[in-house]
Amino acid sequence: MTDWRDPAGLALALFLLGLLGLLARKNLVFVLMSVEIMLNAAGLLFIAAGMRWGTPDGQVMFIAVLNLAGAELAVGLVLLLRLRGRLTTLDGDAANLLRDAP
Amino acid sequence: MIAYLWLVPALPLLGAIMLGLCGGALPARINGAIGAGSVGLAAVVALCIGAAWLAHPPPQQLFTQVLWSWINLPGFSASIALALDPVSLLMMLIISVIGFFIHLFSTEYMQGEEGYSRYFAYLNLFVACMLLLVLASDLLVMFAGWEGVGVCSYLLVGFWFAEPANGGAAQKSFIVTRIADIAMLAGLLLLAVQFGTLDIHTVLAGAVAAWPAGTAMPALAASLLLIGGLGKSAQAPLQTWLPDAMAGPTPVSALIHAATMVTAGVYLVVRLHALFALAPGVLAAIGIGAALTVLLAAFAGLVQSDIKRVLAYSTMGQIGYMFLALGAGAWGAAMFHLLTHAVFKALLFLSAGAISMRLHHEQNIFAMGGLWRKLPAAFAAFAVGAACLAALPLVDCGFFSKEYLLAALWARGPWLWAIGIAGAFLTGLYIFRAFFTVFFGGAQTDVAGSYGPRIIVPLAALGAAALVIGWLQAPEFLGGAAAFSAFLAPAIGVAPATHLPVLVPLTGMAAPLAGMALAYTLHANGFWRRQGAATPGAVRRLCQTGFGFDAAYRFLFVTPFLVTVRALRQDPVDQAFGVLERLAVALHKNLRHAQNGKLRRYAGWMMAGSLATFLLLVFA
């Protein structure tokens, strides 16, 4: 029987990895991938929690998270495409056109 | 025939709507025809109604026509209804017939003016509102007409609005009368709360039944309504707007500021005389205020150099006479003077307009002179009008009405009568000062153009009327006709006949003659012209400006108001709320640096925030 701490530790590692990618990458495709990794880390933590308390609820939540991630990814990709169409770049820092009224 | 009563105000209203909607697209001839024609038709209908009335008066001499139910609430109801009784019949005839002649005069007088159709639209609207005012059987409807004539007066005084002074005069006339109308509205609300309706007959019957004479309630209601009437009728202390209202076209002054609108206050008091009779204190105050107005207007009229301002002050003075009669409870005498004044003052204003239109719109009497030979028609009309205004004995209507009025004053005591006599002397003096200066002496200016029939016919008709209508009510020593008082008797009762000492009518005849004689003497030795040319002294300046009422009001009301406005321009209350706004702006200025569009920094801050929250939850 595997201890629930192993997947929890893995989830923490994944989350930190994703965070690192999010903070380090400029390219929005990679930023999106990092967000996905962090989301999966959260999903994995649900499963670990389900193991800890011996209930299937964690796995149910994971399925739900997967669905949400799919939906969110679709919206995110559309935003990326729109941004690329307008700015001709995928650099997230270039999208800082919001200004005070003159 | 009487059932067609609604047509009388409806026809001018229709004319106003037609001219207002499509007057600009029509040629001037059509506009003039619509403008004068609608009022002419109304006058014909009114005359037919008058004839039908004389032939078969309705029961109780009262005819009511309910058009619509307006407001129907528990505790208050009002309906749009017309009522005809001898007083409103008389007013309706005055307004529609004189109104028609003034419209006819206007079609020629205003020829070629910018805004010809606008002029007739306003003038028709005025006649409609004025007819509504006098025909209303409900005080609320009357108030609607009352405000309507105020609006039309404003529009027509400011008709030549390109000149800023005219706009100022229009605003002044509007604001002063509006201030008076606030009091009137308060009086109406008081009556509405007390009696649950503003139907005139119900209110009067209720007031007579519920309020004993001489108590506070009728006095309060009557004085509030009276203030409205004083403002509309340009009586002291609300008279200041009338001389400035002469900025409008002269026929407008003839119709609105002489014949009809300014007498609305007199009509109001006569209409509600049962209420005013319950308040003897208010009647006494009316008498005192009117005496003041008569003298003030006479002295001011004596030193004016603008012919229209002379006539404006004379209007003020003659309405003062009507209020003197009202103060003495002589409703019939006030109405008779209202009738004759409407005729002869319209005649005077129209002849003044006829003079100035031939003199390139010159209105200064000292720039005129010797005009009797060049303008015989205007001379004859003005002579008849001036004779009526001064009440020269026997020949004219002004004499008969003033005689009737002074007799009624004498019955109430010698003091107000004496002021009436003094006013009659001064009236004779100042109107003949203008008359002699304008028509005699050396010629001063060139005369251009000629009169068409549309100028001559109104002058002739009004002049003929001014000579004959006096005989409706002749004093005892001239046959003692009483057709007028008998006609009005069902509505306002008959004043008991009093026996006058022979000296009373004799003094009444002598005073204007003395005034005229003095005016002639001073004209013959050139005093008037010398005085007109000289720099005015302090007393004359005081008279010329209407005894400093304008300056006093400026000091008491206008300046404090402007100072307050200037103080409030920045809106201190709003400033207090502005602190919130400035706080938000300052916070924004400081925090906006965080919003730099750097996605990764946002993520870092979010992470740091989450971590801090986590640590706080775990370790705190």
Residue with tokens 């002021």: B419
CB contact under 8 A, A98 and B597: yes
Q: Encoding tokens for residue B570?
A: 């920045």
Establish if B564 belongs to a structural domain: yes
Q: How many domains does chain B have?
A: 2
Q: Checking DSSP bridges between strand B76-84 and strand B63-73, what pairing results, if any?
A: antiparallel
Residue B207 backbone class (left: φ over 0; alpha: ψ -120 to 50; beta: rest): alpha
Q: Encoding tokens for residue B363?
A: 């209105």
- Shared-domain flag, residues B576 and B614: yes
CA distances from B365 to B358, B433, B608 (A): 14, 10, 93
Nearest residue, CB atoms, A22 vs list B597, B598, B600 = B600
Residue A1 predicted with pLDDT over 60: no
The residues of chain B scoring below 50 in pLDDT are none
Q: Find out whether A93 and A25 touch, Cβ atoms under 8 Å.
A: no
CB contact under 8 A, A23 and B597: no
What are the residues facing B72 on neighbouring strands? B77
For the beta carbon of residue B44, count every other beta carbon within 10 angstroms: 16
Identify residues of B whose CB sits under 8 angstroms from chain A CBs. Answer: 592, 595-600, 603-604, 607
- Shared-domain flag, residues B552 and B589: no
The amino acid at residue A23 is L
Establish if B217 belongs to a structural domain: no
Residue with tokens 């205020």: B289
Which residues of chain A have a CB within 8 Å of the CB of B605? none
- Shared-domain flag, residues B560 and B577: no
Q: What is the ipTM of this complex?
A: 0.82
Please give the Cα distance from B109 to B402 (Å, whole number): 31
Give how far the C-alpha of residue A66 lies from the chain's centroid of Cα atoms, to the nearest Å: 11
CA distances from B318 to A29, B224, B239, B263 (A): 95, 23, 13, 10
- Shared-domain flag, residues B584 and B561: no
Distance from CA of A27 to the nearest CA of B (A): 11
CA distances from B187 to A14, B80, B281 (A): 85, 20, 17
Establish if B410 belongs to a structural domain: no
Q: Encoding tokens for residue B244?
A: 């400035």
Phi, psi of B211 (to 5 degrees): -110, 120
Please give the Cα distance from A44 to B426 (Å, whole number): 111
Domain end among B569, B588, B610:
B569
Nearest 10 degrees: Cα torsion B133, B139, B140, B141: -30
Residue with tokens 């001389």: B243
Q: Find out whether B49 and B89 touch, Cβ atoms under 8 Å.
A: yes
Q: Is the dihedral of CA B167, B226, B130, B106 positive or negative?
A: negative
Q: Find out whether B63 and B8 touch, Cβ atoms under 8 Å.
A: no
Residue B603 backbone class (left: φ over 0; alpha: ψ -120 to 50; beta: rest): alpha
Domains in chain A (CATH in brackets) are 7-91 (1.10.287.3510)
- Shared-domain flag, residues B577 and B615: yes
CB contact under 8 A, B600 and A23: yes
Model pLDDT, residue A100: 67
Helix (H, G, I), strand (E, B) or coil at B81: strand
Nearest residue, CB atoms, B603 vs list A22, A95, A100 = A22
Locate the chain B residue with the closest alpha carbon to A21: B600
Distance from CA of A48 to the nearest CA of B (A): 19
Phi, psi of B116 (to 5 degrees): -60, -45
Nearest 10 degrees: Cα torsion B178, B191, B89, B478: -90
Distance from CA of B612 to the nearest CA of A (A): 16
Helix (H, G, I), strand (E, B) or coil at B287: helix
Residues whose CB is less than 8 angstroms from the CB of residue B68 and which lie 6 or more positions away in sequence, other chains included:
B79, B80
> Which 3-state string (H, E, C) describes A49-100?
HHHHHCCCHHHHHHHHHHHHHHHHHHHHHHHHHHHHHHHCCCEHHHCCCCCC
Residue B378 backbone class (left: φ over 0; alpha: ψ -120 to 50; beta: rest): alpha
Residue B209: which H helix or E strand, with range? helix B200-210
Q: Is B569 exposed, middle or buried (0-12, 13-18, 19+ CB in 10 A)?
A: exposed
Residues whose CB is less than 8 angstroms from the CB of residue B146 and which lie 6 or more positions away in sequence, other chains included:
B133, B181, B184, B228, B232, B264
Nearest to B305 by CA among B238, B246, B377: B246
Residue B320 backbone class (left: φ over 0; alpha: ψ -120 to 50; beta: rest): alpha
As a residue count, chain B comes to 620
Band (pLDDT 50/70/90 cuts) for residue A64 is: very high
Establish if B179 belongs to a structural domain: no
- Shared-domain flag, residues B565 and B588: no
Please give the Cα distance from B72 to B188 (Å, whole number): 17
CB contact under 8 A, B597 and A97: yes
Distance from CA of B572 to the nearest CA of A (A): 27
- Shared-domain flag, residues B580 and B541: no
Quote the Cα angle for B432-B435-B436, to 5°. Answer: 85
Please give the Cα distance from A30 to B31 (Å, whole number): 81
Which residues of chain B have a CB within 8 Å of the CB of A41? none
Please give the Cα distance from A22 to B599 (Å, whole number): 9
Establish if B104 belongs to a structural domain: no
Nearest residue, CB atoms, A92 vs list B592, B599, B604 = B599
Model pLDDT, residue B426: 94
Which residues of chain A have a CB within 8 Å of the CB of B595? 98
Helix (H, G, I), strand (E, B) or coil at A11: helix
pTM equals 0.80
CB pairs under 8 A between A and B: 28
Q: Find out whether B464 and B492 touch, Cβ atoms under 8 Å.
A: no
Which residues of chain A have a CB within 8 Å of the CB of B592? 100
Helix, strand, coil share (%) of chain B residues, nearest 5: 75, 5, 20
Distance from CA of B597 to the nearest CA of A (A): 4
Distance from CA of B573 to the nearest CA of A (A): 27
Nearest residue, CB atoms, A95 vs list B597, B604, B607 = B597
Identify residues of A whose CB sits under 8 angstroms from chain B CBs. Answer: 19, 22-26, 31, 92-93, 95-98, 100
Establish if B605 belongs to a structural domain: yes
Establish if B255 belongs to a structural domain: no
What are the residues facing B580 on neighbouring strands? none
Model pLDDT, residue B452: 87
Nearest residue, CB atoms, A96 vs list B592, B598, B604 = B598
Quote the Cα angle for B515-B518-B523, to 5°. Answer: 125
Residues whose CB is less than 8 angstroms from the CB of residue B463 and which lie 6 or more positions away in sequence, other chains included:
B347, B380, B381, B384, B385
- Shared-domain flag, residues B553 and B575: no
Residue with tokens 């919001």: A98
- Domain span holding position B614: 571-619
Q: String of b and e for B404-414 (b: at least 16 CB within 10 Å)?
A: bbbbbbbbbee
Residues whose CB is less than 8 angstroms from the CB of residue B435 and which lie 6 or more positions away in sequence, other chains included:
B382, B383, B386, B519
> Which 3-state string (H, E, C) describes B99-158?
HHHHHHHHHHHCCCCCCHHHHHHHHHHHHHHHHHHHHECEHHHHHHHHHHHHHHHHHHHC
The amino acid at residue B133 is L
Please give the Cα distance from A62 to A54 (Å, whole number): 15
Helix (H, G, I), strand (E, B) or coil at B589: helix
What are the residues facing B82 on neighbouring strands? B65, B136
- Shared-domain flag, residues B561 and B591: no
- Shared-domain flag, residues B576 and B610: yes
Please give the Cα distance from B108 to B454 (Å, whole number): 6
Tell me the Cα Rg of chain B: 30
Please give the Cα distance from B523 to B436 (Å, whole number): 7
Helix (H, G, I), strand (E, B) or coil at B190: helix
Peptide bond into B58 cis (omega under 30): no
Establish if B100 belongs to a structural domain: no
Which residues of chain B have a CB within 8 Å of the CB of A87? none
CB contact under 8 A, A93 and B600: yes
Which residues of chain B have a CB within 8 Å of the CB of A100? 592
